[in-house]
Amino acid sequence: MCLAIPSKITHIENEMATIDVDGVKRSASLMLLEDSAVGDYVIVHAGFAIKKLDEDSAMETIRLLKEAAAFVDNLDAGKG
Nearest to 36 by CA among 15, 57, 66: 15
Instruction: Provide the mask over 56-75, with x wherever binding to other proteins is found by CB under 8 A and - wherever it is not.
Output: -xxx-xx--xx-xx--xx--
CA-based R_g, the chain, Å: 18
3-class SS letters over 23-37: CEEEEEECCCCCCCC
Among 22, 39, 77, 80, binds other proteins (CB under 8 A): 22
> How many residues sit in the footprint of other proteins (CB under 8 A)?
36
Contact 5, 28 (CB under 8 A): no
- The least distance separating other proteins from the CB of residue 72, rounded to whole angstroms, comes to 5
Residues that bind other proteins (CB under 8 A): 1-2, 4-6, 8, 20, 22-23, 29, 31-34, 41, 43, 45-48, 50-51, 53-55, 57-59, 61-62, 65-66, 68-69, 72-73
